[in-house]
Amino acid sequence: MTTNSIPWPGAGVAEPSVVDRLHGWVTTVDHKRLGILYIVYALTFLIIGGIEATIIRIQLIRPHADFVSPEVFNRMFTMHGTTMIFFMVMPILFGFGNYLIPLMIGARDMAFPRLNAFSFWLTAFGGLLLYFSLVGANGLYGAGNAPDVGWFAYAPLTSRAFSVGHSTDFWTLSIFVSGFGSIGVAINFIATILCMRCPGMTLAKMPLLGWMYLVTAGLVVLAVSPLSAAQIMLIIDRYLGGHFFDTQAGGSAVMWMHFFWVFGHPEVYILVLPAFGFASEIIPVFSRKPIFGYSVMVAATVAIGFISMSVWAHHMFTVGMGRALNTLFVFTTMAIAVPTGIKIFNWLGTMWGGKIEFKTPMLFCTGFIFQFLLAGLTGIMLGSAPFNWQLSNSYFVVAHFHYVIVGAIVFCIFAAIYYWYPKISGRMYNERLGQLHFWLFFIGFHLTFDFMHFVGLLGMPRRIYTYEPGRGWETLNLIVTIGVFFQAAAIIVMLVNLVWSYSRGEKAGADPWDAWTLEWSTSSPPPVYNFAAIPAVRSRRPLWDLKHPDNPDWRYEE
Amino acid sequence: MWRRVTAPQLLQTDTTDSYGMKPILIFGVEAIAGTYFSSPTNIFAPASTPARSIFDLSLLVLAVTGAIFLVVFTLLVYAVSKFRRRTDDAQEPAQVYGSNQIELAWTVIPILIVAALFMATARVIADTEKVTAPKNSIAVIAIGHQFWWEFRYPGLGVAAVNELHVPLSEPAYATPTFITLLSADTDHSFWVPRLAGKTDLIPNHPNEMWIDPHETGVFLGQCAQFCGVQHAKMLLRVYVQPRSEFDRWVEEQKQPARLSTDPSEGQRIFESTACINCHNVAGTPANGSFGPDLTHLMSRDTIAAGAAANTPANLRLWIRNPNAIKPGSLMPAMQMSDHDLDAICAYLETLR
């Protein structure tokens, strides 16, 4: 058997049939295959969500455009938000975690392989349920429709009085079902990271990515649970005569906001911490230096984990919470800027004095630092409650959170895709196409999201399907829309690169980046059992120790 | 020097520079936001104290975050350009694991910065939210509907629709307007960027806000919380008038509809169709409250919550097919004959 392919069940006899191969993928409990399933699934939804974003932007290219009706526009932004958060970014991060964590901590699989498979299929089913609304939401008699209440689905717009038909039910159930998948995989991450590390790998010697996923998984358990509870309450309201959020019967719309954002804000950190993990693995390798201030990075991650549970109501400064609560949430929001800033400084410290090689993954990580810096600073502006009274629900907010989710998280995801592609596929990607992807996406990103800030400052609210001329918004919206096409072209370049390189790329070998963590010590792609013998480590960079026996890390690490 | 480029709409009143930041920042902010992109909804062109205090705070926040950006961005550019690997260089760089002194420095300095920002922010929150209505203030109840605004003036006994009229608040004799925000259906948000930050209208959750406009004119805004199909065309206009003009407007609005003793054909059709289920015309049998009050329809500049100018042609189109102007509006198409349509339009045009 070659080391280039993951062996099929019953392989070695003859080439397995297509049915056998598919059966192998459906029934697999191997963490690497599930990781790949998550990633491919997420990339599929990236394309779908991207098409929705393009429709939104074409509609807004000029005032009073009629590319789509208001009803369709409202469905598009609801589906775009829900898809990108729950069925693109979350699954792709779970996918990389699944693939990488056992390899990086020297384990042969996740702690609960069957739970792992179950969690993936729940998430997959959730995504299908959301999109089945296109067929099923109006029942069997005709054209369906998709949810149109916005991705945070504020009450009472979700009550049956204002949301007739079943579109909101599909939204609720798909979030509920995929939420269980998320909690399942989070428990798996926690158990794996705490119990399955190889000999010698204390928590203090674990790669930073492991720490980031540990905190993320804890946040998933804490934050997705209230979201799931809120979905149950909404279903009770809609079908069992409950009045939790039904304002016409004395329910509270504000309570839904609290339920949603007590999930929604930690969710941002659930998404961004794994991205920090990617950056913390990739920047050192391409700077040829260990991460600067490992223990401070760990402390900052844990601090972010705790503080992130206490900032949710900064999404609600315009709700009328009163002076005391507004002031309190300004305080916690300002506080979380400190550990976040420390991380940026530590990545800079890692690059400082290094010998940086700007391969595609490092380009994306550099873009990430730049954009995350700006996203953090606009976050401080939004965290200043009075400024927020002007900025919230305007395009400034849309620009800010896309800076976080695309400029920071998706840039790190692209870095991770290129960095670990040789490990996963056994082949090198095409470097020139990779750089083309970076520059196209970088230009498109800045055209789109930089100018969104300005149109927000000029008073354009989000979620409007059209706007009036004469408010200074026309040129800015045109530029924003032009940027989308650069981004779409970049995604196509990436997909071409990934598909083409899978069969035509150079053989990667076990360790193409001269890297230092355990996943690079096994073949590319790794065998089913990952490691012939479970490794033992003495430092955070076991392969550095192997490569430099005269100057090993464990002499210097505390 | 910076004053020479001041756009007139930005500095109508020469209030105090509470943070001393204006000379530093005003040039950039005005040049970019005020002069280049002139906009009637620019948040950097305040015309009322709540918007003004946000503007002042935003200058401080922009100055601090701008300075942080410049420092960190310079470091990043320096690192990216200085610490590149040369192609012939196979040697690893010095392996540095960290430094407690440096970590301490870039922990303590950000803490001091955010502490300062927090205190400045807390002060503006208190200044804006603890204000109580003085005796000579105007009280308004704003009610959000899908997809229009209802304004009631409980002290004056009048009502307005979509176009809020308020008196100019002179520095010497302040007459601020205090607005109680309610919702009849879903969540909405009242946002007129030049007058104040936004405050949400949430059912079962009354909110308060206030404005004290320093200049006359029409101020534009719109609903800023997604409220359903036609959220986009739930536009908002605030008319700031000199006190005498405002008082005259109040007097006019107090009158019942001026009707001839012999009801016109249009009035009879209006009162014998479903129109009266939703619309009120004071002094007639029409007393619905689901839709906008039409008693003084012709005193307004716009119809359909600002989506169209109040012209006879638009009014006729609106009654014939509201979806042509505002698809998803809750006003039904009345399926009238051309004759009835003309008669009703003629009647509505008498409601001044």
Residue of B225, B290, B323 for testing the chain A interface, max A β-carbons within 10 Å: B225
- Mean pLDDT of all residues in A125-137: 90
The answer on pLDDT for A95 being more than 50 is yes
Q: How confident is the model at residue A12 (pLDDT cuts 50, 70, 90)?
A: low
Q: Scan residues 320-339 of B and list those with Cβ closer than 8 Å to A.
A: 327-328
Q: How far apart are CA A96 and CA A415, in angstroms?
A: 12
ipTM: 0.92
Element counts in chain B: helices (H) and strands (E): 9, 12
Alpha-carbon distance of B172 to B185, in angstroms, equals: 40
Angle at A146 between CA A144 and CA A151, to 5 degrees: 170
The yes-or-no verdict on residue A145 having pLDDT over 90 is no
Residues of A in contact with B99 (CB under 8 A): 292-293, 349
Does residue A14 sit within a domain? Answer: no
**pTM recorded for the entire structure:** 0.93
Nearest to B222 by CA among B277, B158, B311, B162: B162
- Answer whether residue A141 shows pLDDT above 60: no
Assigned CATH topology for domain B138-235: Immunoglobulin-like (2.60.40)
Has residue A451 got a pLDDT over 60? yes
Quote the CA–CA distance of B316 and B313 in Å, as a whole number: 5
Cβ–Cβ below 8 Å for B80 and A348: no
Q: How many helices (H) and strands (E) does chain A have?
A: 17, 0
Q: Is residue A23 part of a domain?
A: no
Parent domain of A226: 28-555
A-contacting residues in B 24-83 (Cβ below 8 Å): 32-33, 37-44, 51, 53-54, 57-58, 61-62, 64-65, 68-69, 72-73, 75-76, 79-80, 83
Instruction: Of B310, B317, B324, give the one whose Cα is nearest residue B341.
Output: B317
Of B64, B200, B233, the CB nearest to A318: B200
Work out how many domains chain A is built from and give that number: 1
Name the one residue in this structure whose structure tokens are 């991460």.
A291
Residue A10 counted as domain residue:
no
Confidence of residue A546 (pLDDT cuts 50, 70, 90): very high
Tell me the pLDDT band of A139, cut-offs 50, 70 and 90: low
User: In angstroms, rounded to a whole number, what is the distance separating the alpha carbons of residues A262 and B318?
Assistant: 43
Of the candidates B98, B124, B230, the beta carbon closest to that of A293 is on: B98
Question: What CATH number corresponds to the domain at position A445?
Answer: 1.20.210.10
pLDDT in tens, A25-83: 999 999 999 999 999 999 999 999 999 999 999 999 999 999 999 999 999 999 999 99
Please tell me if residue B93 touches chain A, with a CB cutoff of 8 Å: yes
pLDDT, one tens digit per residue, over A312-334 is 999 999 999 999 999 999 999 99
B95 vs chain A: nearest CA distance in angstroms? 5
Percent of chain A residues past pLDDT 90, beyond the cut:
92
Tell me where in chain B the CATH 2.60.40.420 domain(s) lie: 138-235, 265-348
Which tens digit of pLDDT belongs to each residue from A229-279? 999 999 999 999 999 999 989 999 999 999 999 999 999 999 999 999 999
Q: Work out the pLDDT band at A5, boundaries 50, 70, 90.
A: low
User: Does A290 have pLDDT greater than 70?
Assistant: yes
Chain A partners of B222 at a C-beta cutoff of 8 Å? 461, 464
Q: Which residue has the tokens 């970088």?
A: A442
Domain formed by B265-348, architecture: Sandwich (2.60)
Which burial class, exposed, middle or buried, applies to B92 when counting CB atoms under 10 A from its CB (0-12, 13-18, 19+)?
A: middle
SS3 B106: helix
Residue A17 lies in a domain: no
Show residues of chain B in contact with A323, CB under 8 Å: 125-126, 129-130
Residues of chain B where predicted confidence (pLDDT) is lower than 50: 1-24, 35
The DSSP line for B199-255 is EEEBTTB-EEEEE-BSS-EEEEEEE-S--STTGGG-EEEEEEE-HHHHHHHHHHHHS
Specify the pLDDT at position A309. 94
Contact A480, A448 (CB under 8 A): yes
Query: Is it the case that residue A380 has pLDDT exceeding 50?
Result: yes
Q: Residue B334: what residue type?
A: M
Which of A253, A356, A390 lies closest to B43 in CB terms?
A390
Distance from CA of A29 to the nearest CA of B (A): 38
Chain A nearest-CA distance from B61, in A, is: 6
Q: How many CA atoms lie within 13 A of A37 on its CB side?
A: 23
Per the model's pLDDT, the better-predicted residue between A424 and A138 turns out to be: A424
Average pLDDT of A524-535?
Answer: 94
Q: Give the distance from residue A471's alpha carbon to the nearest chain B alpha carbon, in angstroms.
A: 5
Rounded to a whole number of angstroms, the distance from the CA of B205 to the nearest CA of chain A is 8
| Confidence band for A6, pLDDT divided at 50, 70 and 90 | low
Query: A135 pairs with which residues across the strands?
Result: none
Judge whether A116 lies within some domain. yes
Nearest to A361 by CA among A436, A440, A282: A282
